[in-house]
Amino acid sequence: MAQLLTATPIVDEHHVDRRRYPHGVAFIDGQYLPMSEAKISVLDWGFLHSDATYDTVHVWNGRFFRLDLHLDRFWRGVERLRMKLPHDREKIASILNNCVALSGHKSAYVEMICTRGSSPTFSRDPRQAENRFIAFAVPFGSVANREQLERGLHVAISETVRIPPTSVDPAIKNYHWLDLVKGLFDAYDMGAETALIVDTNGHIAEGPGFNVFVVRDGFLRTPAFGVLPGITRRTVFDLCAQAGLSATAADISRTEIKAADEVFITSTAGGIMPVTCIDGAAIANGQVGPVTRRLMDLYWQKHTDPQWSTAVEYP
């Protein structure tokens, strides 16, 4: 059974006082810890060089959503970065479950991370580094708050160019966010709430932690080049297939996104979230559109479907 070790006396996982962990629980170096006690070395290449990959799955009403897809992508990223995990897939799924169960949260944001680690001899050779696995569960958070979900997000398009996929593969989830952070500051300077940045061809790419979709004449499109193939993005394609809607991945220009009937963004942190204003101008009539609302409803309905979700085993 999982053992919870901390610097302060607590009860075991079968009788955990859930009020002790409102900020969540982490697994690091074989121990389950309150988030405030989870630390990594300043010599870890994940910190020094952003040499890490991760994935994030969410729990809603006590159920993981599309956990297998997130584990699949995490494993692909680890393998493509030539890292090695110290646990097999079943064990990592169990660790994620325990982080949520020990925290007591019914809705959570759950992250799994593999860093390059560090070399015992301080070698600069990445082959000498001892890779590290970390996981944590914290309260669920969303890109958009309740008000923004109801009236739609206000977004600005930054001139910042996304790191080209020939340099950093966007299919490997990573912490190379300086382009996205710069885009955010650009958006704030323009009075917007979040940002979209462009790809190396000047087309719309993605935002900080989310993909984007446009709806025009009932057809959906999402950028195809230089973006993370998000799990929620994939979920939109799956929902469209079931709902008889057409969705495709293709280039989207600034002009096209502003002329759309509807725009929405997708992320594990919030699901499907409407956009009603870009660069200070309303999208269509400035209201959340019917296709977006339909997909939002379908998305949350799937959270209780056993084919799409997995129950957390709480103590």
Decide: 313 and 101 in contact? Cβ < 8 Å. yes
Strand pairing of 130-139 and 25-28? antiparallel
pLDDT given for residue 106 in this prediction: 95
Task: Report phi then psi at 263, rounded to 5.
Answer: -135, 140
HSE-CB for 16 with a 13 A CA cutoff: 28
pLDDT given for residue 8 in this prediction: 30
Strand pairing of 31-34 and 25-28? antiparallel
Assigned token pair, 261: 């009937």
Apex 206 CA angle, 297 and 184, nearest 5: 105
User: For the purposes of burial, counting CB atoms within 10 Å of the CB of 170, is it exposed (0-12), middle (13-18) or buried (19 or more)?
Assistant: buried
pLDDT given for residue 3 in this prediction: 39
pLDDT given for residue 12 in this prediction: 39
Decide: 180 and 208 in contact? Cβ < 8 Å. yes
Assigned token pair, 122: 């301080």
pLDDT given for residue 20 in this prediction: 62
Assigned token pair, 295: 């997909």
pLDDT given for residue 21 in this prediction: 87
315 residues of the chain, pLDDT tens digit each: 333 433 232 333 333 444 468 899 999 999 999 999 999 999 999 999 999 999 999 999 999 999 999 999 999 999 999 999 999 999 999 999 999 999 999 999 999 999 999 999 989 999 999 999 999 999 999 999 999 999 999 999 999 999 999 999 999 999 999 999 999 999 999 999 999 999 999 999 999 999 999 999 999 999 999 999 999 999 999 999 999 999 999 999 999 999 999 999 999 999 999 999 999 999 999 999 999 999 999 999 999 999 999 999 998
pLDDT given for residue 114 in this prediction: 98
CA distances from 124 to 48, 83, 119 (A): 12, 15, 8
pLDDT given for residue 5 in this prediction: 36
Structural domains in the chain plus CATH codes: 13-139 (3.30.470.10), 146-303 (3.20.10.10)
Decide: 215 and 232 in contact? Cβ < 8 Å. no
CA distances from 166 to 204, 224, 230, 242, 303 (A): 17, 15, 19, 34, 36
Q: Model-level pTM?
A: 0.92
Which of the 8 DSSP states describes residue 260?
Answer: -
